Amino acid sequence: MYKGRIGVGQYWGSALLLVLITLVAAGILVGGYYLIVLPLLLESSGVGLGAVLLLSIGGVFLAFILALIALPYIIGLQVRRFHDMGLTGWTVLLLFILGWVVDFFFPAADYSSGTPVILPLGAAIASVLFVVGVVIVSWPGTNGPNKYGEPVRYRSLWAAVKGKAT
């Protein structure tokens, strides 16, 4: 999953497929939890408001679990995309840390007053970093073989998500 290369077109198609699968799965799991499981739990237990709030977090927890399941595939796509450009996969981690540090020092919003307030400098920096990220992963790969192998053409988008060339 973290070895080899992936071209721009297959990267974006695979990333879109992964996002759609995750959203549909989250919709089914979280929707089922809130529409079926939570009402049954509340009806049968006769709990108070605190328990209702605690049980309500269950749907968010399910969505978080799905994001954690998708995370290795997302990282794998990123690493293979960087390999296609001749860059090491560790660049993904470096850029993630850089983005986190910039967001820490220049947040896009302030929630301290209870009402979110957009901070123009932070929002501008976040927007620029987003555009730079899209440009980076859309940059053409190296022609022919590089130190990460030959260019790979996956037989399907799902095979590209999993990183299985054959």
Give the start-to-end residue ranges of the domains of the chain.
1-86+142-166, 88-140
Rounded CA gap, 110 and 40, in Å?
A: 38
**pTM over 0.85, yes/no:** no
Beta-carbon neighbour count of residue 26 at 10 Å? 18
In this prediction, residue 156 carries a pLDDT of 92
Ramachandran category for residue 62: left, alpha or beta (phi over 0 → left; psi -120 to 50 → alpha):
alpha
Mean pLDDT by 10 residues, the chain (166 residues): 92 95 91 83 71 76 90 94 94 92 92 91 93 93 92 91 83
